[in-house]
């Protein structure tokens, strides 16, 4: 503990941990928001409702990723978490490569590669995030979570800049989008190799399932403990509904902007770059507010901003709506996700981080799967505006649960000062 205090909350080990956010955003910060929706819109062009078909596929991929997170948590009781992270990361890179260089060019092959990429990404994420409680004292975890999420956008921004040069002056087509996936596979492989090497040299292989007792390694065991941790399950339920709404925004913003406002692939990439540029300072600023002032009011504002985005998607009109929409998304996407991750890291009981973070991933994935599926169903039956209003109501319910969790918490924690021995 004295060594941690002497180095502060940012040291060699925590910097290596945050570096994984940078590497993982090369895929997740770019592909699900723009490349994958446009790619499958092209492949599903002959379907009666390509938007609904894409929503169904996205839901299936998200559900599969929840199962992958549970499997990763179960394996973490028997294998080194760093080894699991290495294997899951390798699977992610290979899946991205399969989108770029499929053995057989077909919708089924592309869908399988997409499902695999999502599954490996979230399996890796649940393991990676479970290290957070082992790295720092409780009062500093929110700060590290926000820092990692903020600098993570650097990886996505770098990938977008490379892609902008690749797609300049070209219309979206399956062949061009496959070239984009090839670029992401190469950049991801390079970034992950560097970060995982740094994590190994920083001693992550020696980190077990956490410290203390009881040892809760399995998700089923953790579920059986729900009466002991009602606040945690309140947070998980709220997180699930919030992710449901965010998933709809991430999955359908690009198709809506492309069809309603005529945004081209380069224009969508520029808008996505704007999200990344705004997200870095906004995530840091919101994180500073939550670690040095209050959790409740900033989180309420962030969740309200997501409601505003859904209203813009439903009723917005005018040439500036795409910029306004992505601008608001940039102001709240990183801060919301890092805050929810930090709230969980502060609350997990000792020794149970892998299971609880896997459970959180499952809750988030279930919500994120229901979002696109529900949106696709209601859009087919009642129209797009009605679907977005239903999602808005579910967001309000999730926001209420998250804010209730914060109200139930003790007085917001203040940063602690730990003195080194001597």
Statement: residue 113 has pLDDT above 90: yes
Euclidean distance between CA atoms 359 and 223, whole angstroms: 9
Query: What are the structure tokens assigned to 53, written together?
Result: 């078909």
Backbone angles phi, psi at 20, to 5 degrees: -65, -30
Statement: residue 4 has pLDDT above 70: no
What is the CB neighbour count within 10 angstroms for residue 8?
Answer: 11
Euclidean distance between CA atoms 185 and 120, whole angstroms: 14
Task: Give the per-residue pLDDT at 112.
Answer: 94
Long-range contacts, 95-98 (Cβ 8 Å, 24+): 95/120, 96/27, 96/31, 96/181, 96/184, 96/185, 96/188, 97/181, 97/182, 97/185
For 339-387, the pLDDT digits (tens) are 887 777 776 665 556 666 666 767 777 777 788 888 888 888 888 889 8
Task: Give the per-residue pLDDT at 420.
Answer: 41
Task: Give the per-residue pLDDT at 230.
Answer: 63
Q: Give me the torsion for CA of 137, 75, 358, 282, rounded to 10°.
A: 60
Whether the model pTM is above 0.75: no
Task: Give the per-residue pLDDT at 115.
Answer: 94
For 122-141, the pLDDT digits (tens) are 889 888 888 887 787 767 77
Residue 147 in contact with residue 374, Cβ under 8 Å? no
Task: Give the CA distances from residue 179 to residues 110, 258, 266, 394, in Å, rounded to whole numbers and listed in that order.
Answer: 14, 20, 14, 37
| Helix (H) or strand (E) segment spanning residue 12 | helix 12-28
Task: Give the per-residue pLDDT at 358.
Answer: 66
Residue 41 in contact with residue 344, Cβ under 8 Å? no
DSSP state of 206: G
Query: What are the structure tokens assigned to 372, written together?
Result: 């696109």
Q: Which residues of 168-299 form beta strands (DSSP E)?
A: none
Euclidean distance between CA atoms 136 and 144, whole angstroms: 8
Residue 330 in contact with residue 275, Cβ under 8 Å? yes
102 CB burial (10 A radius; 0-12, 13-18, 19+): middle
Euclidean distance between CA atoms 60 and 131, whole angstroms: 28
Query: What are the structure tokens assigned to 358, written together?
Result: 């896997």
User: What ranges do the domains of the chain cover?
Assistant: 10-408
Statement: residue 236 has pLDDT above 70: yes
Euclidean distance between CA atoms 236 and 226, whole angstroms: 11
pLDDT band of residue 87 (cuts 50, 70, 90) is very high
215 CB burial (10 A radius; 0-12, 13-18, 19+): middle
Statement: residue 197 has pLDDT above 90: yes
Task: Give the CA distances from residue 21 to residues 29, 147, 195, 308, 312, in Å, rounded to whole numbers and listed in that order.
Answer: 10, 10, 9, 27, 29
For 9-43, the pLDDT digits (tens) are 778 888 888 899 899 999 988 898 889 988 998 88
Task: Give the per-residue pLDDT at 288.
Answer: 80
Specify the CATH number of the domain 10-408: 1.20.1250.20
For 39-73, the pLDDT digits (tens) are 998 888 888 778 778 878 888 887 888 788 778 87
Average pLDDT over residues 235-251: 85
3-state secondary structure at position 368: helix
Task: Give the per-residue pLDDT at 416.
Answer: 43
Euclidean distance between CA atoms 286 and 274, whole angstroms: 18
Statement: residue 421 has pLDDT above 50: no
3-state secondary structure at position 229: coil
Q: Provide the b/e sequence for 134-170 (b: ≥16 CB within 10 Å).
A: bbbeebbbbbbbbbbbbbbbbbbbbbbebbeeebeee
Rg of the chain in Å (alpha carbons): 20
Task: Give the per-residue pLDDT at 179.
Answer: 93
Query: What are the structure tokens assigned to 204, written together?
Result: 């992550």
């Amino acid at each position: 503990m004295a060594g941690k205090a002497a180095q502060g909350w940012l040291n060699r080990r925590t910097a290596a941990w945050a570096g994984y956010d940078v590497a993982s955003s090369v895929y997740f910060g770019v592909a699900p928001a723009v490349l994958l929706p446009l790619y499958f819109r092209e492949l599903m062009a002959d379907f009666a409702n390509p938007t609904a078909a894409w929503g169904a596929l996205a839901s299936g991929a998200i559900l599969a990723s929840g199962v992958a997170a549970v499997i990763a948590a179960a394996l973490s009781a028997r294998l080194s978490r760093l080894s699991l992270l290495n294997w899951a990361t390798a699977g992610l890179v290979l899946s991205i490569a399969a989108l770029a260089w499929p053995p057989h060019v077909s919708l089924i092959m592309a869908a399988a590669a997409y499902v695999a990429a999502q599954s490996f990404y979230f399996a890796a994420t649940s393991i990676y995030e479970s290290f957070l409680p082992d790295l720092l004292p409780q009062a500093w975890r929110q700060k590290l979570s926000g820092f990692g999420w903020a600098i993570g956008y650097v990886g996505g921004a770098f990938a977008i800049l490379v892609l902008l040069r690749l797609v300049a002056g070209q219309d979206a087509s399956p062949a061009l989008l496959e070239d984009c996936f090839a670029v992401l596979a190469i950049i991801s492989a390079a970034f992950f190799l560097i970060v995982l090497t740094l994590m190994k040299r920083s001693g992550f292989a020696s980190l077990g399932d956490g410290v203390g007792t009881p040892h809760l390694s399995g998700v089923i065991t953790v579920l059986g403990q729900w009466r002991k941790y009602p606040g945690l399950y309140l947070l998980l339920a709220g997180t699930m509904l919030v992710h449901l709404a965010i998933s709809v925004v991430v999955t359908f913003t690009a198709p809506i902007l492309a069809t309603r406002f005529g945004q081209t692939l380069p224009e969508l990439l520029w808008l996505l770059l704007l999200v990344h540029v705004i997200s870095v300072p906004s995530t840091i600023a919101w994180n500073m507010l939550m670690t040095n002032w209050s959790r409740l009011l900033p989180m309420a504002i962030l969740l309200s901003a997501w409601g505003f985005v859904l209203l813009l998607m439903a009723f917005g009109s005018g040439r500036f709506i795409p910029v306004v929409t992505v601008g608001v998304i940039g102001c709240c996407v990183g801060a919301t996700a890092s805050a929810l991750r930090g709230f969980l890291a502060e609350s997990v009981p000792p020794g149970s981080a892998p299971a609880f973070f896997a459970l959180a991933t499952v809750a988030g994935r279930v919500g994120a799967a229901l979002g696109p599926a529900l949106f696709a169903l209601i859009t087919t039956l009642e129209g797009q505006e009605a679907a977005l209003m239903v999602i808005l109501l579910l967001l309000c319910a999730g926001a209420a649960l998250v804010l209730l969790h914060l109200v139930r918490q003790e007085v917001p924690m203040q940063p602690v000062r730990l003195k080194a021995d001597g």
